[in-house]
Structure 1
């Protein structure tokens, strides 16, 4: 009921505020500026979604269009400064990492504005354990672009988001139906050697202006199918069978996906969009299904006081495991369901020389994780897929003030979170609270303000500074981790809280060296301080019944992996640069970042230590991508090259965890060479676009940073140089698009 009251307050505010402002206007206290009607296709979810906006939007924001040079979504995310991915060949999902933070709540990862809550549990390829990670099940054939916001807690996307947000945008009707046409078809395909596999997608769309007064109706349906192989050769010519194991047929994937959208616009002011995504995969001895559905409503009448947006969404994902895939049980399944409501209104008005834009909204999100085993005893004492519920209710507001060259953004969100679930009773020899079985409830409240100031000091220079306070509530996977039943659950876990300072500038300069060239640059520095950082530690049961790190004075049959809050703050800081120079017939794009963090590791991240919960997420100390290309044949042919540099990277120490501290120490991963990819795009006709790429041109033998299979100390060898898996060697990829 509390969450419904918050949502009702948000709705009432959205209705009342325009009335108050209208009354003020009648008294002569305010005047309206020129009416601006926003392009909702570009502005939805708060992201315009173009590469150029990276340099025009103040703050740590980056945007990329997809399918430009046959790079995967994983590789595309790694071309953004301060942004990386956690790789796990056993998951089949994309896990976004922002400034060393990854996971549900640390990064609010969305698809078309819908927050994703999928939590994958993959049986390990080495033994009967499992790897786990949050992530997004998405077919990149359906993607139009991805937008990243780092260190910002503003708006709906900043609710329960510690380090930032990522929004993946799928294709819409306008991406398929060309101007002045009513129907359209878009197909995409790729095929590659060296185990790359193949994929194909077809999407059809149509629209008609049947309602008059700017109203229309349109629909889209897309179908995609992929084949991804597990076997390949690395740069040394060694087949992956040798480091993944000969029996790796279960790692072959054949995911298939569907995308549906229906747009109903009764008039030019009112828009409805129904959307749905279905994903299915049989992979790593489990059957995976994921379904997302949403309804978007936009109402923008001829009044600057009213710009109402509503998003209703429901998501469901399930994993059903093959018999024998897990050592602890013969039959297991997991399910997570998530439902959300997000409602806001934006009012625009002027007072004297000041222009204002005020947003007020609310978001309610309920997520439930459940699991099922073949016996109740296994269900109570097992670290596999903890079950529980998380409820989030938030109010958010933002005020943007513009005067002359200055812009001030003031934002605040207030959230109430609740995590609850079942805790089994502890044994008589254990001392825990509560001692008996019961329902744990963790309730928290958080105020998260942020402020940003920017100034267009010249037509080409825009400096900016910002401060943001953000928070992330503990999730059920942390609170209800149950490798030792109730003895490994923590009812006192606190939310993580971060303070982030950022300062930088944007430069957009036309005609820098030539009349038709464009130079763009975004450079910034940041510093974050995180209190109550959550990680897991190893605890033993001492003879007095308490949890301790003393292995010499403990019971041999008890070892709990308990999630705890760090007693000292975690610090991270760094520098991020994006630059672009385009002179029509040639271009250069550069992204570079350098960062440092002292965040601890989690003992439960090791597949030997538990269920592979999380993993080391420290970004390389520096990394960069240089994209150089040229255009030929009246710009129909583009030829380019990507140079990918990765600095020193970390992994879990081969020496195992420290029994005195209960933590896993880190060590340096073997050096990663610079990787070069070649690509070309050829617009054969107005309807046909062909692409060709050579990835890892130098056929380098290396292990990629933040690869889950290289984070398990148990399999890394004693020499400190061995890795469990290395990257794909030289690979040819051919693809294209046909649109008509």
Structure 2
């Protein structure tokens, strides 16, 4: 979310047309009449408000400008704060120290500021200027009021942030993208959005389905923990696909995505070598307008260049602490044309054809109470093609999230459970009926505590554990190059402790991961084919230490040393060999060891307000990392009678990955600008057949990436117009079809423009033009180096809420 929108959610003009006032008055009378029949419900809500407001919380807020003080209050209390009117920087809030209720803390903080407050709901307060309180009712409509909403920084998965600004307050290399940025600035293209973020890239498959996240050169087979609403996505598609794994999610259902680079604490970092990516789907609050108990939403898009129509419809309702919603989306896209090449030609890419149907449903219970339960189901069904052979992609994700937040600083319990069933199946062609399927399930439990060890030292403690299990099956027989069958289980215990003393923070933590693999390998002994069951286990202790210094408000320096670990996957261990006529006793590799990465990271966070104008904001995050990877797993070749065979091996020695990442955003309300830059150097080995055949991983990132964006807002910030330049540096790819010879992939520059107009809270219109100059380019990290990227594409649409 743009920075200014966290503080200026909506502008209300006080002077209304007389006819509108009459309609508003009639609606108010109707709602009052309905409310008279709901007195028991109101009594329950009142009681819930009192319980939440009187809950004791440990506060530590220094004397500072009121605008920043309410941010800290929201963070420490977990409550939402709204203010009617711009908060002048000259108003100082009083210091608040000690354990007290939210009401007591607000009264103490607001003493002498000229502001009072009222409670809106169980988790919401509104700050009110005393001069506004003293106005006569007849004069109230003459005020121009601005609603400022401050929400507590969220966390969707332990170790990842769940909102935009929190990324600039943490000692991890994390970032968060909201649904508006994804849908309106990038037209829902998740590859473009990821490639525009620092330290993050994607490997594009030879089909329109799926996304494979690359973080700092790490990609595939669980090196990046890819999730949908916290549910891990572990399916592997061998041969002519993204073998290391893709996530199948309809981007039109996304409310945002959270990225963590490097070593991560909590559940997100378990078994992941390079980081994690969590894709958040829309929920009840995205469908129902604030202050309403039910609502509906639809987003309709149309684009040229074979994008065609995309139609989303959703509806939901909330009553007595229970909410329910559902959504369905349909998109049928054709083969897009590339930009114009040097010969004046435009080529089409049939592999990008999609026939997508998706939907979701969510049930929420206990909103605003100590206990909260969220159940969700997501369904994805797509048909795309690889080399003209259609494949059916199906993914079903079921999640359950339970939160327990009683009146205690020692207990903030989160339990996440999921079941995920993903399948990729050939529906036509030479491999008709063959499939890959992964049925995954898991649960993680995390508790957060905070308390004072003394008057000067505070402690935040996170503890938890997790268990994940995957059952991998295929419809391919031995000797056809498909991945092997088997099961994998990972269990983990983790903890993080942050000690705070003055401007210094010391954070120590660890993961203790244990994995088990179970599967069969085939051998040819004395001319007979036999199978042998193989069981593998390995454990790894992975420590992390971070030292942070906060010399000024809004300025933070930190350094981290960490170790991460990734176990070998079922596919790598039980892979039976590629295109071999019969199984070989050396094609699977049950002797694989897990990968480890050790290294340092140095970073700085900057949040600067009122820099050039009143109420503007600069957010900056920069970091340098240097890691050594041991036992890196890649595809190797061995000699067979008819043609080369493959198996996965541990590369000898250490391989180094280092780089620099910078993300900066400026927003004054009227103008905004952003910059994301990455320079990553990898020395990871190339796997055989990593190119068109998609067995190993192409891990060579572009030498650098740069995205620069800028724009302005007008008409009371209802109209937004902007653009971005994406510069992708030179990279390498394996020379088709086998390698290991390399070919150069040229650098390229793309320009995009976007615009949106928020007519009112019910209607928003938007348009996006990708590749404005219609340049022809070969995308980096694209498996088929003979294909070109999408040419100029105009996508426009509208979102309506009722």
Question: CA offset at residue 170 of structure 1?
Answer: 1.1
Over 3 Å counting, the alpha-carbon distance change for 1:161 and 1:33 in structure 2 is farther
Contact 1:235/1:728, CA 8 A, preserved across alignment: no
**Structure 1 regions of 5+ residues with no counterpart?**
1-30, 125-129, 210-215, 374-378, 542-555, 658-663, 711-723
Q: Equivalent residue for 1:733?
A: 795
Q: Equivalent residue for 2:315?
A: 204
- CA distance in 2 between partners of 1:53 and 1:189 (Å): 31
- CA distance in 2 between partners of 1:633 and 1:267 (Å): 36
Question: CA offset at residue 407 of structure 1?
Answer: 1.9
Q: Equivalent residue for 2:347?
A: 240
1:595 to 680, 685, 694: 680
2:768 to 673, 693, 703: 693
Question: CA offset at residue 388 of structure 1?
Answer: 1.4
What pairs with 1:111-150 in structure 2 (closer than 5 Å)?
A: 111-121=228-238, 124=240, 132-150=243-261
Contact 1:487/1:560, CA 8 A, preserved across alignment: no
1:277 to 343, 355, 378: 378
Over 3 Å counting, the alpha-carbon distance change for 1:228 and 1:168 in structure 2 is same
- CA distance in 2 between partners of 1:35 and 1:465 (Å): 35
User: Cα deviations across residues 104-127 of structure 1 (Å, max 9, x unaligned)?
Assistant: 3200111111111122357x5xxx
**Structure 2 regions of 5+ residues with no counterpart?**
1-96, 103-121, 124-150
SS of alignment partner, residue 237 of structure 2 = strand
Question: CA offset at residue 48 of structure 1?
Answer: 4.0
Structure showing greater Rg:
2
1:458 to 525, 536, 552: 552
2:438 to 336, 346, 354: 336
SS of alignment partner, residue 755 of structure 2 = strand
Contact 2:362/2:374, CA 8 A, preserved across alignment: yes
Question: CA offset at residue 508 of structure 1?
Answer: 1.0
Over 3 Å counting, the alpha-carbon distance change for 1:574 and 1:119 in structure 2 is same
- CA distance in 2 between partners of 1:88 and 1:500 (Å): 30
Contact 2:235/2:436, CA 8 A, preserved across alignment: no
Q: Equivalent residue for 1:105?
A: 222
**Deviation above 6 Å: which 4+ runs of structure 1?**
35-41
What pairs with 1:429-448 in structure 2 (closer than 5 Å)?
A: 437-448=531-542
Over 3 Å counting, the alpha-carbon distance change for 1:654 and 1:119 in structure 2 is closer
280-289 or 143-152, larger mean C-alpha shift: 280-289
Q: Equivalent residue for 1:254?
A: 355
- CA distance in 2 between partners of 1:574 and 1:347 (Å): 34
- CA distance in 1 between partners of 2:507 and 2:309 (Å): 46
What pairs with 1:334-733 in structure 2 (closer than 5 Å)?
A: 334-352=436-454, 353-373=456-476, 379-428=477-526, 437-483=531-577, 484=580, 485=583, 486-541=585-640, 556-557=641-642, 559-607=644-692, 611-653=693-735, 657=739, 664-669=740-745, 671-710=746-785, 724-733=786-795
Over 3 Å counting, the alpha-carbon distance change for 1:636 and 1:704 in structure 2 is same
Contact 2:400/2:417, CA 8 A, preserved across alignment: yes
Over 3 Å counting, the alpha-carbon distance change for 1:41 and 1:288 in structure 2 is farther
Q: Equivalent residue for 2:157?
A: 45
Over 3 Å counting, the alpha-carbon distance change for 1:75 and 1:357 in structure 2 is same
Higher RCO (CA-CA < 8 Å; seq separation 6+)? 1
Question: CA offset at residue 601 of structure 1?
Answer: 0.8
Contact 1:222/1:260, CA 8 A, preserved across alignment: yes
SS of alignment partner, residue 784 of structure 2 = helix
Q: Equivalent residue for 2:411?
A: 306
SS of alignment partner, residue 449 of structure 2 = strand
- CA distance in 2 between partners of 1:427 and 1:605 (Å): 31
SS of alignment partner, residue 615 of structure 2 = coil
Over 3 Å counting, the alpha-carbon distance change for 1:59 and 1:43 in structure 2 is closer
- CA distance in 1 between partners of 2:647 and 2:152 (Å): 46
Contact 1:573/1:596, CA 8 A, preserved across alignment: yes
User: Cα deviations across residues 132-183 of structure 1 (Å, max 9, x unaligned)?
Assistant: 3411111111111111111113111110000011111111111221222101
User: Cα deviations across residues 33-76 of structure 1 (Å, max 9, x unaligned)?
Assistant: 55789988923323442222232222211111132312511111
Contact 1:90/1:131, CA 8 A, preserved across alignment: no
SS of alignment partner, residue 243 of structure 2 = strand
413-422 or 183-192, larger mean C-alpha shift: 183-192
Q: TM-score, normalised by structure 2?
A: 0.77
User: Cα deviations across residues 298-329 of structure 1 (Å, max 9, x unaligned)?
Assistant: 11110111111111111112233225332xxx
Question: CA offset at residue 239 of structure 1?
Answer: 4.0
Q: TM-score, normalised by structure 1?
A: 0.83
Contact 1:344/1:360, CA 8 A, preserved across alignment: yes
Q: Does 1:185 align with 2:296?
A: yes
- CA distance in 2 between partners of 1:730 and 1:334 (Å): 35
Question: Aligned-residue CA RMSD in angstroms?
Answer: 2.3
Q: Equivalent residue for 1:164?
A: 275
